């Protein structure tokens, strides 16, 4: 249920705790890769004119074994497009299961950190921190969070959104 997902929970947090008008537009598409997100972003920026773009992409790239430089290039392009449009960008990092090999999984996770450092972005290093591997928090596939995991994820993002709000 989208109304119980972390994005909807974040929107409720904003309405309950922040003075002023903020609207969240969830432009995500389940199963999308960084290539798809990068291809769609310009139109979304022009349509919605955001002040903050929260980028949570790359997990599907990793699960497909996409070369890290390809994913990084797409994420970097989205960061640049966002900032050129007048928005700030925030990056939500992901990790992939260890069966992809230590070298790949380490490079995958560090790509988010490196981009955040390069562009001085707010970063949630791992969106599933406190959710991944926890009974009841993950679906049977071991990849997707359950409804119980959504508030934990929202809390991680909310902590960074509060930093962004304080800087405004």
Closest to 119 in 3D by CA, of 71, 75, 161: 75
pLDDT value at residue 79: 98
pLDDT value at residue 134: 94
CB 152 within 8 A of CB 138: no
Handedness of CA 37, 38, 40, 44 (dihedral sign): positive
Between 116 and 98, whose confidence is greater? 116
Buried b (16+ CB within 10 A) or exposed e, 4-29: ebbbbbbbebbeeeeeeeeebeebee
What is the value of pTM for the model shown? 0.94
Cα gap 66→38, rounded to integer Å: 15
Average the pLDDT over 141-161 and give the result: 96
pLDDT value at residue 9: 96
Percent of the chain with pLDDT over 70: 100
Cα gap 2→28, rounded to integer Å: 11
pLDDT value at residue 131: 97
pLDDT value at residue 22: 83
Cα gap 19→17, rounded to integer Å: 7
- When the pLDDT of each residue in the chain is averaged and rounded to a whole number, the result is 95
Residue 19 has pLDDT above 90, yes or no: no
Residue 20 has pLDDT above 80, yes or no: no
State pLDDT tens for residues 58-114.
999 999 999 999 999 999 999 999 999 999 999 999 999 999 999 999 999 999 999
Closest to 24 in 3D by CA, of 43, 1, 5, 38: 5
């Amino acid at each position: 249920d989208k109304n119980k997902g972390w994005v909807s929970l974040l929107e409720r947090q904003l309405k309950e705790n922040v003075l002023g008008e903020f609207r969240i537009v969830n432009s995500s598409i389940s199963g999308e890769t960084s290539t798809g997100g990068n291809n769609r972003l310009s139109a979304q920026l022009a349509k919605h004119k955001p002040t903050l773009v929260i980028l949570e992409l790359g997990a599907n790239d990793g699960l497909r074994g996409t070369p890290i430089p390809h994913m990084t290039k797409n994420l970097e392009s989205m960061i640049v497009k966002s900032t050129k449009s007048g928005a700030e960008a925030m990056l939500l990092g992901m990790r992939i299961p260890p069966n992809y090999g230590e070298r790949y999984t380490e490079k995958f996770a560090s790509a988010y950190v490196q981009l955040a450092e390069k562009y001085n972005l707010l970063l949630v290093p791992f969106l599933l921190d406190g959710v991944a591997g926890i009974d009841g928090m993950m679906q049977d596939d071991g990849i997707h969070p359950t409804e119980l995991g959504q508030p934990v994820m929202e809390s991680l993002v909310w902590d960074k959104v509060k930093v962004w709000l304080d800087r405004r």
